[in-house]
Chain A
Amino acid sequence: MVAQAVRATRDALLAVLDHVMDPEVPVLSVRELGIVRDVDIDAAGHITVTVTPTYSGCPAIRVIEQDIVAALDAAGYPGAQVRTTYAPAWTTDWIAPDAKAKLKAYGIAPPGRAESGDLVQLFRRRATAQCPYCDSYETELRSEFGSTACKSVCWCRACRQPFEEFKAI
């Protein structure tokens, strides 16, 4: 039996999506990460959620799409479609300060400002990350590549612990 569809409003749908968490960073919702770009309800009541992938090869994007459809279905909005867009390209600058605070509390250093499009300078040195455990800036980048595409690996010289940083892109 198909659940009785509730008459959808954009705000109600967005409120549902506030509870769809990123599978890799479960303290942030797909809205807080900026993955959900838009929600549209057409005259016939069909729902389309527009998403953009964080990284082009991010393996979590299919799971995220399924989670979005499942969450809307469970809230009484069945049959939602998910559409992918690439423009504008996803940037960590879309993550708001309160969401960055959640990342830090979770033990991941939040991203700084995304770099500008300077083409010629191949090896820009960026500011060091702040340690999410002891707040020290006495840290170093160990590798730009971490356990997921969106994170790099750092080391804190003050508290002598490794930590992950959300890459600014």
Chain B
Amino acid sequence: MDEFGTGGDQFRQPYIQVQSVLYHIEISSVVRSLESLSRAADLSIHKGECKKVSVIYGDASSSPCIDGAELERLRERFPALNLSYHFFGENLGSARGHNRLAEGATADYLLILNPDVVVCPNLFGHMLAPFASPRTGMVEAKQIPIEHPKEYNPLTGETGWATTACALTPRKLFHELGGFDADTFFLYCDDVDYSWRVREAGYKVIFMPAAVAFHDKRLSSQGRWRPTSAERYYSAEAALLMAYKWSRPDLVELLSGYFRNGGEDERRALKNFEERRASGKLPAPRDPAHAIGQFIDGMYALHRYPL
């Protein structure tokens, strides 16, 4: 019998909590996502794949994205989703925001979801399937239209880490691992770090290409992904923190060298990292034998193709 998943009698029809952190998002994007979640929940409950789905939003914006009247309308419109909403009153970042939302959770699984993601109708069934194995600790949906290029085993779906644009993990495991490392990561790489800790604990991270999550990203006219300035800053900062936490001081030095001569975002990220190091606020390094962490060509896994 598995420890967390659907194999246990009590979890044959698990309860799933979908949780998203809002940050100055347009309500139309949230509604689009809820419409898809509502249908997916209806279908999944009807098929007996799960017994209950709830959606919980944590709002890290400076002012609420959803007011009381709007919330009531959404609750009325999507009764299957048991919608709840919390205004944090501060920008907690994604890692701390998700930890906060998971604090009082009683669900069997947590679906970490970007609030603008539109899911396919059979999402829950597909994402629960790999938990039939007791060794599965995290399942990631495939993002469209821009599929993440990181490598996964084309026969088993096993992969190095999972993005949390749309990822399912047992609530118990999440709590046992202490959730996301919010002290270290604000916006980026909290998912890479969590995935690696899932694997460090002996579980597998599975990529499910049949479970589809539409994440509204656009390409430049050259067919390249277009990161914003904030994305460049936080990914640069997270890169330094990941290298440090997962025992790659050589990479920390290498990245520091690049960033010192890089753009404004990179220089700012390096400055912040050095300040944290000076004040002793960096995490304790782990995985000294490099059994889990992978740093390949600036990525956290082998990539199938450049993007």
A, B: real partners: no
